[in-house]
C-alpha cells in the first residue's frame, strides 16, 4: 500500500496556503505508518508527477472554489477531481490537473484519489490564513483522517508533554 497526502498551496497568497497548513497539522499531531508519505507540494505542478505516480491512494489538500461560504470543507473523489479543477483557484491548479491527466495517460493514475478542499476567504497577497479558514483546518483534517481510514490507515495521535514535563 503506497499512500501520499499532498498539501498544495502558495504561502504568499493568504488562504491559498490552507492545503499546506492542513498537512503540517497532520504531521505535527499524528504518527503515520511508514507506507504513508506526507508532502508539502507548494505550488509545484509537473514536478510532482513522479511522486504522485502509482499510488494506491492520493489525498490532496488544497484551497477550492465551490461557491460555498468561505471556510466550507469539500471532499471529492476520483473522477470528480480533474473535472473540478477546470475551474481554477490559482495557477498551480493547472499544474495539478495536468499531472493528473498525464498520470491517466501513462497508466500511473492513483487507484484512489481524494481531494479535501477548503473554500478561501481571501487570496490577496499576504502571509497567514484568515480566521475563518484557520478554523476550517480542524474539520478538513478530520476528512483527511477519514480518507486514510478508508485505506486502512489509523493515524495515532502524538503524545504531548504537559507543562510539568511528564
User: What residue ranges define each of the domains in the chain, with the CATH number in brackets?
Assistant: 3-155 (3.40.50.1450)
pLDDT of residue 101: 82
Q: Which of 3-17, 124-138, 150-164 has the lowest mean pLDDT?
A: 150-164
> Taking all residues of the chain, what is their mean pLDDT, rounded to a whole number?
87
Phi, psi of 7 (to 5 degrees): -95, 130
Core vs surface per residue 124-139: b (16+ CB within 10 A) or e: eeeeebbebbbebbee
Query: What's the whole-model pTM score?
Result: 0.89
pLDDT tens-place string over residues 46-76: 788 899 999 999 999 999 888 899 999 999 8
Nearest to 74 by CA among 18, 11, 155, 13: 18
Angle (CA) 79-12-113 rounded to 5° is 15
| pLDDT mean over 34-57 | 89
Amino acid at each position: 500500500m503506497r499512500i501520499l497526502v499532498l498539501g498544495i498551496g502558495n504561502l504568499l497568497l493568504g488562504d491559498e496556503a490552507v492545503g499546506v497548513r492542513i498537512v503540517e497539522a497532520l504531521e505535527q499531531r499524528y504518527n503515520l505508518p511508514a507506507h504513508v508519505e506526507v508532502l508539502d507540494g507548494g505550488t509545484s505542478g509537473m514536478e510532482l508527477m513522479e511522486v504522485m505516480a502509482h499510488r494506491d491512494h492520493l489525498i490532496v489538500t488544497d484551497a477550492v472554489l465551490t461557491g460555498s461560504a468561505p471556510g466550507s470543507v469539500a471532499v471529492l473523489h476520483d473522477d470528480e477531481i480533474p473535472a473540478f479543477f477546470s475551474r481554477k483557484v490559482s495557477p498551480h491548479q493547472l499544474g495539478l490537473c495536468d499531472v493528473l491527466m498525464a498520470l491517466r495517460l501513462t497508466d500511473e493514475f492513483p487507484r484512489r484519489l481524494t481531494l479535501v478542499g477548503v473554500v478561501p476567504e481571501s487570496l490577496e497577497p499576504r502571509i497567514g490564513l484568515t480566521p475563518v479558514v484557520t478554523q476550517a483546518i480542524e474539520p478538513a483534517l478530520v476528512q483527511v483522517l477519514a480518507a486514510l481510514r478508508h485505506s486502512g490507515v489509523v493515524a495515532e495521535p502524538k503524545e504531548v508533554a504537559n507543562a510539568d514535563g511528564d
